[in-house]
Amino acid sequence: KMPQPADWPDVLATALIGNPSLKLSQWGENNGIAPWTVSRGFAMVFGVSPEAFRERTRAHHALKLIHDTQAPLASIAAELGFADQSHMTRSVKRLTGIAPHAWRSAANGSKTRRHRDA
Of 67 and 1, the one with more pLDDT: 67
Helix or strand or coil: residue 20? coil
pTM over 0.85: no
pLDDT for res 118: 45
pLDDT at 2 over 70: no
Average pLDDT over residues 95-117: 73
Q: Please give the Cα distance from 75 to 58 (Å, whole number).
A: 14
pLDDT at 116 over 60: no
Start-to-end C-alpha separation, the chain: 61
Q: Please give the Cα distance from 118 to 116 (Å, whole number).
A: 6
pLDDT for res 103: 82
